[in-house]
Chains A and B, each alone.
Chain A
Amino acid sequence: EDQVTQSPEALRLQEGESSSLNCSYTVSGLRGLFWYRQDPGKGPEFLFTLYSAGEEKEKERLKATLTKKESFLHITAPKPEDSATYLCAVRVFPSGSYDKVIFGPGTSLSVIP
């Protein structure tokens, strides 16, 4: 069964303390991995798409990387405004079906001033 897990469940950082969030997946026919940011009470906001192992994408203090089994979202020198839930999602093409996007449970990040 296709599955996406994220760790840690929650992460508390001091402002400026760099760290990484993990997204692990067990799927067949991966056709893309997405990272989203979600603020409380709002819809997810798109951050990155990664398609192949070795690919990296950067945006401000965030950098996403992809291997064959997992993806990392690196946060460099985070600020309090980076506090949010970070969601990972994968697109798969099950045989005999159309593509579908499966989300992980998310990592709740808190950055303390």
Chain B
Amino acid sequence: DTGVSQDPRHKITKRGQNVTFRCDPISEHNRLYWYRQTLGQGPEFLTYFQNEAQLEKSRLLSDRFSAERPKGSFSTLEIQRTEQGDSAMYLCASSQARSLTDGDTEAFFGQGTRLTVV
């Protein structure tokens, strides 16, 4: 296992189309995070999972965004009816947490999916 893998690396889509991104975390990690990053800004939290359970979802995340982690392994992030403001780098990260109430170790990031909405 060489780290967190994201697919695709780049996606160009027309406004109004749906897109789906995939993230494969480090195999022994039980936590998986999705972040969004725009130019010149730090990563902005979107949501995270512990195993297959979605524990937190950002209040900034519109209903057009949905994430799943069906078997506690890989995760998908879908954006419906894309808008130009959705253009950003979407980052996935994984880490190992000891319990729901215990903090986890440091998170390791994938290379990201660059989304451009035209």
Q: How many chain-A residues does the 8 Å CB contact rule pick out? A: 26
Q: How far is the CB of B115 from chain A (nearest CB, A)?
A: 13
Which B residues are closer than 8 A to A by beta carbons? 4, 6, 33, 35, 40-45, 48, 55-56, 91, 93, 100-101, 103-112, 114
Chain B residues with CB under 8 A of A4 = 42
Task: For A41, give its contact among B4, B106, B108, B114 (CB under 8 Å).
Answer: B114
Instruction: Let me know if B106 and A99 touch, CB within 8 A.
Output: no
Instruction: Let me know if B42 and A106 touch, CB within 8 A.
Output: yes
Q: How far is the CB of A56 from chain B (nearest CB, A)?
A: 17
Summarize A's interface: helix, strand, loop or mixed.
strand
Instruction: Let me know if A43 and B110 touch, CB within 8 A.
Output: yes
Instruction: Answer whether A43 and B112 are a contact pair too, CB < 8 Å, given A49-B106, A97-B56, A101-B107.
Output: yes
Nearest neighbor of B97 in chain A, beta-carbon distance: A99
Task: For the complex of A and B, list the 7 residue pairs with the smallest distance between their C-beta atoms, beginning with the closest.
Answer: A103-B42, A43-B109, A31-B103, A103-B43, A98-B55, A44-B109, A43-B111
